[in-house]
Amino acid sequence: MARPHRRRLTSRWLAFTRPIGAAVGVLLALELLLWATGQGETLDHDPFAGFSNLVPMFEAAERSDGIRILRTADPPRFNTPQEFLADKPEGSFRIFVVGGSSAAGVPYSFDLAFSGWLQRRFDAELPDVPIEVVNAARSAYASRRLLAVTRELAHYEPDLLIIYSGHNEWGEARFYRHLIGVNPILFRLRVGLASTRLYAVVSRALGVGAGPEASPVRFDDVDNAMQMFAVANRRLEGEAVSEREMLYREEHYRHNLEQMIFAMHAVGAQVMLVTLAQNLADWPPGASSHRIDLSPAEQAAWEEHVARGRELAPGDCTGALAEWTRALRIDDQFAQLHFEVANCQRALGQLEGARHHYLQASDLDRIPHGAPSRYNEVLRELAAEHGTLLVDVEEILAGESPGGLVGNNLFVDFAHPDLGAQQRIARAIAQELKDQGIPAGRDRWRTGRYVESDPRQLLDESPELRVREHLARAVACLLGRRRHCAIAEAEAALALDPDETAARDLLTVGRNLPVASPTASLRGEE
């Protein structure tokens, strides 16, 4: 009696699976046909914004003289492609640099990043040692995507990896949640789909032109460069950051850096960790918020003390600090107040206190503009645990700043080193390598043969570099909703180059920003 029932179930199952099987068969046949005809071989963009390994950072190429090289597949704006020899010469030393926009030399170029200055120093002081310094940094990349890049670099016979990364951790975690928050199995399935030739052909057929902006068949549908603005908008709308999320983000950062170290050590390469520096003294926090459990009465008292202090400062910073100290006893979580306290302490010569409060302002910034100060401790701890090289750029730049307060003297905006700072970073890296006998003993270094360029002369000779500086500051000011600052920087760029369309666009955006409300004024809007 059971056989008819079993036959009916089998019949239904076949009726259900046959169309699926037929569809899969057609797709497989198309995929095989594409393989046979050589179509759809590669994607022209990564639909996963660098979180997958579908599109490598470097692709095989050939120079005009017939030499085989590996070249940047998709060079960032303002930068020429990075390249290195496909067949590494015997006795040569290969250095890769990874990080975000600061390591990439924004707002200048790879050539003017610390990697470029380092290459020129090597050429002068170690002319007998073939050394390649390859910049593999990318704007907006945080540690997760840099881990994927590092694993690719491990295949290119590296001798040293230099890591300067940490300013993009919050942006990447928030903005790419639709990619990094997805179930790992589902993500791998998506990557598998996107790796087919059929996907590549359909993607191009439905797109209008080439490149990631053209194709509608993609999982990442937002411009990478806007991730910081996405974070800023949410923070300015009152999105809170929990202590748990901060701890998780730090552990995520530590884990990715550790995996990068393991990937390099596995192929016999050394690693150099570089601590993070940023503009603490001259760049106000982008957004501030009160402690979560602040009562209305406490907030009213806090605002009264802050208002009194602002009436006194800057003429009477002693009196202002007394009022602000009372406010801090009520609520010490408001970033902008710490910044104003630091300004007054700086004016009074209380430099140690000023450093503390500038750092607090940065750590409490709700956009945030800089990396959490704990990240430098993570870097130092990892260097000690895994025996990597360490260059303490935070300490070095503080030592070269008036009163140890790092600010506009070394930075274009909140986190991008200016030309002089990029040179200082390169100098510190070279000194550490020389001290360690890498890639050659101290006796082989021809110290003094390298003459460093004058940054001011470079800027005078290349006005477009000054334009880029103004554009970078304008964008950073817009990020913090600092309307007047954004307008001033855009106008300064236009004064140097009236045809600069980016400056005109930024000026329009700045003029259309809403006028600061009483709440916004507490964020430091001019």
Instruction: Give the tens place of pLDDT for each residue, 379-391.
Output: 999 999 999 999 9
Residue percentage of the chain with pLDDT more than 90: 62
Minimum mean pLDDT range among 43-57, 155-169, 434-448? 43-57
- pLDDT at 511 exceeding the cut of 70: yes
Beta carbons within 10 angstroms of residue 343's beta carbon: 21
Q: Is 106 helix (H, G, I), strand (E, B) or coil?
A: coil
For residue range 345-392, list pLDDT tens digits in order.
Answer: 999 999 999 999 999 999 998 877 789 999 999 999 999 999 999 999
Minimum mean pLDDT range among 110-119, 203-212, 229-238, 422-431? 203-212
DSSP-derived secondary structure for 33-54: HHHHHT-S-S-SS-TTTTSSSS
Tokens read off for 115: 């990697």
Minimum mean pLDDT range among 100-104, 142-146, 196-200? 196-200
- Given this model, what pLDDT does residue 479 score? 81
Tokens read off for 325: 């100290």
Exposed, middle or buried: residue 300 (CB in 10 Å: 0-12, 13-18, 19+)?
A: exposed
Split at pLDDT 50, 70, 90, the class of 221 is very low
- pLDDT at 212 exceeding the cut of 50: no
Is 378:273 a contact under the CB 8 Å cutoff? no
Mean per-residue pLDDT, 417-423: 98
Mean per-residue pLDDT, 236-246: 64
What DSSP state is assigned to residue 69?
A: E
- Given this model, what pLDDT does residue 524 score? 42
Mean per-residue pLDDT, 253-273: 97
Q: Name the nearest CA neighbour of 122 among 454, 434, 455, 424.
A: 434
For residue range 140-182, list pLDDT tens digits in order.
Answer: 889 988 999 999 999 999 999 999 999 988 766 555 555 555 5
Residue 339 phi, psi dihedral angles, 5° rounding: -65, -40
- CA distance to 53, 149, 502, 511, per residue, from 486 (Å): 37, 34, 12, 9
Tokens read off for 239: 């999105």
Task: Tally the C-alpha atoms within 13 A of residue 183's C-alpha that lie toward its C-beta.
Answer: 3
Minimum mean pLDDT range among 50-64, 184-198, 436-450? 184-198
Beta carbons within 10 angstroms of residue 398's beta carbon: 17
Is 424:117 a contact under the CB 8 Å cutoff? no
Minimum mean pLDDT range among 71-80, 86-95, 155-164? 71-80
- pLDDT at 191 exceeding the cut of 60: no
- The Cα 302–Cα 205 span in angstroms is 60
- CA distance to 71, 249, 265, 449, per residue, from 159 (Å): 18, 29, 10, 24
Mean pLDDT of all residues belonging to the chain? 83
Mean per-residue pLDDT, 305-329: 97
- CA distance to 36, 227, 271, 419, per residue, from 412 (Å): 52, 20, 28, 9
Exposed, middle or buried: residue 15 (CB in 10 Å: 0-12, 13-18, 19+)?
A: exposed
Q: Is 97 helix (H, G, I), strand (E, B) or coil?
A: strand
At position 305, the amino acid (one-letter code) is H
- pLDDT at 43 exceeding the cut of 60: no
- pTM here is 0.82
Q: Name the nearest CA neighbour of 370 among 290, 467, 476, 248.
A: 476
Is 279:407 a contact under the CB 8 Å cutoff? yes
The alpha carbon torsion through 193, 196, 201, 203 (nearest 10 deg) reads: 30
- Given this model, what pLDDT does residue 446 score? 95
Q: Name the nearest CA neighbour of 54 among 195, 182, 158, 165.
A: 195
Task: Give, for 85, the enclosing helix (H) or strand (E).
Answer: strand 83-85
Exposed, middle or buried: residue 56 (CB in 10 Å: 0-12, 13-18, 19+)?
A: middle
Better-predicted residue by pLDDT, 72 or 412:
412
The alpha carbon torsion through 442, 444, 455, 432 (nearest 10 deg) reads: -30
